[in-house]
């Protein structure tokens, strides 16, 4: 049953910081969480909810206010810095872009906890670095200066450095910030694969809700009050935790699509009947115009598919108008609204 | 791995250049000594001209060695500051280290009044130099501790630099107040000291300076792994197992020892500390302190000796203060390297 022991376990943990000698500001907790080997955990939460503070506390970078954090059975603050460095590796939001380092020498710094007093790399260290570069898929970047890399590339280099540190636990603080969509997807997929293949416990704080729902084995949802809900992402969606949390922020989370509704409706109802992709995108277009889309109603839109051609029939007070594209449909709907329904 | 022979060639060229500049520095001065004799003296071959021999042994060689020590020490302490504060503009003088050393020296020279003028200190010999080196090191270390304790509560490098410059300014103002109330001849002694000089260090003083600088360099080289980790900033360094508090103290100690002792013996010599690390990064194209520290020593020595040769204005009897020449020669050199190689990025 040894593999069922958590890599990291907290009891009654309160994370926060002290500003000034007497003022203590708790951010999150009390928490009882654990990270198991092979698990990818996404830490979600709005800006300012304390994701970074919690992450740094778990990593032992800043002291906890209350409670304990145990890594492989021993208290995180009782471990020597060098021992802790062999347990947890980090990717932080701190900028390293101004340094004169090449990607390879930056990744090589990941061997710091293992190298001798002068930091000379042995053959074994070089092998680990090569493996880390391969795992992060950045063989072509190794000789480039950090300052010349794009955001996405440099984030992968930082990931390779953490991999070179060869730790059972890995924590990443918003690694997808500043990245474009393909890089975000690549990075999250990479983390998912790493958790599976290397059996590491990986904790990622992120704002990528849709990606997190797809790749995470577990989601930790941190709310502004310091409350943390955790569970499989699907469970959190189905039992309404997501809806409840984001409802407080005035944002609608759509349980059926797993996406946010960014348009606040003008509460005019419109009916929509149709199937498949045309129905989905028509609904999106109507929502953008401020309608609340239901199944039946007056006005209503019916999607027709005839001989591979899609058309939209807008029905209002018994009158029928046929449209050949969504753009034309929207013009029709808008003129209808202007006439005062 | 085709690059290695190229690097070795470059290193060999630098070493050869260093030897030539070292010989030239000994040969050139108000009395010109033929290179042949310089060569004979250095390698203890029987010489011909006894006066020349005396000048070489008692004046020129100590001066050249002082230049070597100052070049190594200042450039390495500048490198350490740039890495510790992750700021390409940092050097001992920007953060008040040199001002601190100056305050220490000013306290001895100006406050002592009649009993402790430069002459009396020189007469006191070894104990006198211990007094000055001690005062300068205390001053440098005091300011450095102040700067670093403030740096603990600042996350921003730019803020740190501003605070350092402010502390430096405060320290220099204290010295100015002191000067305002001091006798003119004491002020003149102190002012001459601030122009910097490589020639004043002879005999036992040279051994003391060498001891301090070599100790500082050894500490610095031993901490090259710590410095490498600090390139990524404190959080990353800690996550890799570095005890930042201890690393900071070690770096402060060696920087204070290097900058403090050199400032005490040679006066404040600017610019070497800020320029040479950039030159070393560019020429050796690396960030590894295991290579950069010896690299800084090599380039720092070369630059310092060249500046000393220029300061003696070959062919004339005039000697310019070294502190002026380092900036006059160093600044264009850095600009040239940046324009030419374009491979320097920050620290």
pLDDT tens digit string along B113-144? Answer: 544 555 555 555 444 566 776 777 788 878 87
Sole residue written with tokens 């306290």: B107
Please tell me the distance from the alpha carbon of residue A56 to that of residue A173, in angstroms, as a whole number: 9
Q: Which two tokens stand for residue B173?
A: 């103002």
Which of B229, B286, B347 is closest, CB to CB, to A109? Answer: B229
Cα angle: A63, vertex A198, A150; to 5 degrees = 75
Please tell me the distance from the alpha carbon of residue B311 to that of residue B320, in angstroms, as a whole number: 5
The reported pLDDT for the residue numbered A272 is: 87
Sequence-separated (6 or more) residues with CB below 8 Å from residue A109: A101, A161, B228, B229, B231, B232, B240
Each domain of chain B, given as residue ranges in start order, spans 65-341
CB contact (8 A) between residue B243 and residue A81? yes
The reported pLDDT for the residue numbered B185 is: 78
What do you get for the CA distance between the two ends of chain A, in Å? Answer: 67
Sole residue written with tokens 């013996």: B265
Interface of A with B (CB under 8 A): 56, 59, 61, 80-86, 88-90, 92, 94-96, 98-102, 105-106, 109-110, 112-113, 115, 117-120, 145-147, 165
Please tell me the distance from the alpha carbon of residue A126 to that of residue A130, in angstroms, as a whole number: 6
User: What count of CB pairs under 8 Å joins A to B?
Assistant: 92
DSSP H helical segments within chain A, as ranges?
51-58, 81-85, 103-108, 123-135, 151-164, 181-198, 209-215, 233-238, 241-248, 276-288, 326-338
Query: Which residue of B lies nearest to A91 if distances are taken between CA atoms?
Result: B236
Which residues in chain A land under pLDDT 70? 1-4, 19-22, 247-251, 261-267, 340-341
Cα distances (Å, whole numbers) of residue B166 to A268, B93, B138, B151, B287 = 63, 12, 19, 13, 29
The reported pLDDT for the residue numbered A62 is: 84
Please tell me the distance from the alpha carbon of residue B347 to that of residue B327, in angstroms, as a whole number: 20
What is the pLDDT averaged over residues B320-324? 86
Each domain of chain A, given as residue ranges in start order, spans 1-87+168-183+199-251, 93-166, 268-338
The reported pLDDT for the residue numbered B154 is: 66
* CB-based contact, B152 to chain A, within 8 Å: no
What is the pLDDT averaged over residues B195-203? 78
Mean pLDDT of chain B: 80
CB contact (8 A) between residue A110 and residue B288? no
Confidence band of B347 (pLDDT split at 50, 70, 90): low
Q: Which two tokens stand for residue B244?
A: 């930042």
What is the pLDDT averaged over residues B265-272? 85
The reported pLDDT for the residue numbered A249 is: 63
Residues in B closer than 8 angstroms to A119, CB to CB, are: 224-225, 228, 288, 290
Window 173-192 of B: residues touching A by CB (8 A cutoff) are none
The reported pLDDT for the residue numbered A78 is: 84
Residues A28 and A54: beta-carbon distance below 8 Å: yes
Q: Which two tokens stand for residue A246?
A: 């984001």
Closest CA to A271 of A313, A229, A236, A240: A313
The reported pLDDT for the residue numbered B342 is: 61
CATH of A1-87+168-183+199-251, picked from 3.90.25.10, 3.30.450.20, 3.40.50.300, 3.40.190.150, is 3.40.50.300
Please tell me the distance from the alpha carbon of residue B300 to that of residue B272, in angstroms, as a whole number: 7
The reported pLDDT for the residue numbered A1 is: 38
Does pLDDT of B296 surpass 80? yes
pLDDT in tens, A157-174: 999 999 999 899 999 998
Cα angle: A27, vertex A30, A31; to 5 degrees = 100
CA of residue B225 relative to chain centroid, distance: 22
For the whole model, what pTM was predicted? 0.80
Which of A61, A100, A118 is closest, CB to CB, to B287? Answer: A100
Please tell me the distance from the alpha carbon of residue B190 to that of residue B200, in angstroms, as a whole number: 14
B206-228: string of b/e by CB count within 10 Å (b at 16+)?
A: bebbbebbeebbebbbebbbbbb
pLDDT in tens, A98-119: 777 889 989 999 998 888 877 7
CATH topology of domain B65-341: ABC transporter involved in vitamin B12 uptake, BtuC (1.10.3470)
pLDDT in tens, B38-68: 777 767 666 556 777 777 777 888 889 999 9
What is the pLDDT averaged over residues B179-198? 80
The percentage of chain B sitting over the pLDDT mark of 90, rounded to a whole number, equals 16
Please tell me the distance from the alpha carbon of residue A70 to that of residue A228, in angstroms, as a whole number: 19
What ipTM does the predicted assembly reach? 0.79
What is the pLDDT averaged over residues B247-266? 83
- B290 secondary structure, DSSP code: H
pLDDT in tens, B68-98: 999 999 999 999 988 888 878 788 777 787 8
Does pLDDT of B1 surpass 50? no
Does B305 or A207 have the greater pLDDT score?
Answer: B305
3-state SS class at A38: coil
Please tell me the distance from the alpha carbon of residue A258 to that of residue A311, in angstroms, as a whole number: 28
- Inter-axis angle of helices B3-27 and B61-84, to 10 degrees? 140
Residues in chain B: 347
Neighbours of A134 (CB within 10 A): 12
The reported pLDDT for the residue numbered A31 is: 82
């Amino acid at each position: 049953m040894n593999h069922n022991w958590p890599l990291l376990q907290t009891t009654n943990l309160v994370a926060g910081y002290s500003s000034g000698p007497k003022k203590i500001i708790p951010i999150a907790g009390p928490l009882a969480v654990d990270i198991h080997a092979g698990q990818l955990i996404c830490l979600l939460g709005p800006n300012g909810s304390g994701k970074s503070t919690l992450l740094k506390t778990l990593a032992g970078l800043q002291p906890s206010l209350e409670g304990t954090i145990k890594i492989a059975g021993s208290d995180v603050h009782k471990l020597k810095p060098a021992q802790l460095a062999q347990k947890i590796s980090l990717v932080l939001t701190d900028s390293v872009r101004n340094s004169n380092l090449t990607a390879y020498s930056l990744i090589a710094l990941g061997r710091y906890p293992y190298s001798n007093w002068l930091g000379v790399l042995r053959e074994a260290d070089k092998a680990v670095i090569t493996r880390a570069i391969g795992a992060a898929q950045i063989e072509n970047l190794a000789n480039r200066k950090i300052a010349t890399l794009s955001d996405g590339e440099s984030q992968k280099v930082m990931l390779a450095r953490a991999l070179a540190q060869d730790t059972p636990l890995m924590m990443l603080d918003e690694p997808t910030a500043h990245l474009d969509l393909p890089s975000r997807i690549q990075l999250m997929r990479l983390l998912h694969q790493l958790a599976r293949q290397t059996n590491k416990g990986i904790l990622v704080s992120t704002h990528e809700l849709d990606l997190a729902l797809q790749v995470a084995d577990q989601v930790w949802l941190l709310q502004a009050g310091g409350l943390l809900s955790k569970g499989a992402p699907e469970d959190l969606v189905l039992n309404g935790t997501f809806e409840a949390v984001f409802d407080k922020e005035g944002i609608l989370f759509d349980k059926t699509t797993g996406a946010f509704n960014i348009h606040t409706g003008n509460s005019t109802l419109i009916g929509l009947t149709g199937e498949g992709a045309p129905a989905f995108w028509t609904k999106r277009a109507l929502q953008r115009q401020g309608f609340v889309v239901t199944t039946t109603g007056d006005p209503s839109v019916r999607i027709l598919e005839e001989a591979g051609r899609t058309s939209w029939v807008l029905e209002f007070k018994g009158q029928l108008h046929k449209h050949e594209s969504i753009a034309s449909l929207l013009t029709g709907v808008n003129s209808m609204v202007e006439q005062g329904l | 791995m085709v690059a290695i022979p190229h690097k070795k060639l470059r290193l060999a060229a630098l070493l050869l250049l260093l030897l030539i500049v070292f010989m030239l520095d000994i040969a050139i001065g108000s009395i010109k000594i033929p290179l042949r004799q310089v060569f004979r003296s250095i390698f203890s071959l029987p010489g011909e001209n006894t006066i020349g021999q005396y000048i070489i042994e008692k004046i020129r060689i100590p001066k050249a060695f002082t230049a070597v020590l100052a070049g190594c020490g200042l450039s390495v302490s500048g490198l350490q500051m740039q890495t510790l504060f992750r700021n390409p503009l940092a050097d001992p003088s920007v953060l008040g280290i040199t001002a601190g050393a100056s305050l220490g020296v000013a306290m001895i020279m100006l406050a002592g009044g009649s009993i402790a003028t430069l002459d009396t200190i020189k007469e006191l010999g070894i104990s006198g130099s211990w007094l000055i080196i001690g005062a300068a090191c205390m001053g440098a270390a005091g300011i450095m501790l102040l700067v670093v304790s403030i740096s603990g509560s600042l996350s921003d490098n730019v803020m740190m630099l501003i605070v350092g410059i402010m502390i430096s300014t405060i320290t220099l103002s204290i010295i100015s107040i002191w000067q305002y109330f001091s006798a003119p001849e004491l002020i003149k002694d102190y002012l001459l000291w601030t122009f910097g000089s490589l020639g004043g260090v002879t005999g036992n003083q040279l051994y003391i300076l060498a001891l301090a600088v070599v100790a500082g360099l050894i500490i610095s080289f031993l901490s090259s792994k710590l410095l490498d980790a600090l390139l990524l900033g404190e959080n990353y360094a800690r996550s890799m197992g570095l005890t930042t508090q201890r690393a900071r103290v070690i770096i402060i100690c060696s920087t204070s020892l290097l900058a403090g002792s050199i400032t005490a013996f040679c006066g404040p010599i600017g610019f070497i500390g800020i320029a040479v690390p950039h030159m070393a990064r560019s020429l050796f194209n690396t960030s590894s302190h295991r290579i950069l520290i010896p690299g800084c020593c090599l380039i720092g020595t070369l630059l310092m000796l060249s500046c000393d040769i220029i300061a003696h204005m070959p062919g004339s009897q005039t000697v310019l203060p070294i502190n002026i020449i380092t900036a006059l020669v160093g600044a264009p050199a850095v600009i040239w390297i940046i324009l030419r190689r374009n491979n320097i990025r920050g620290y």
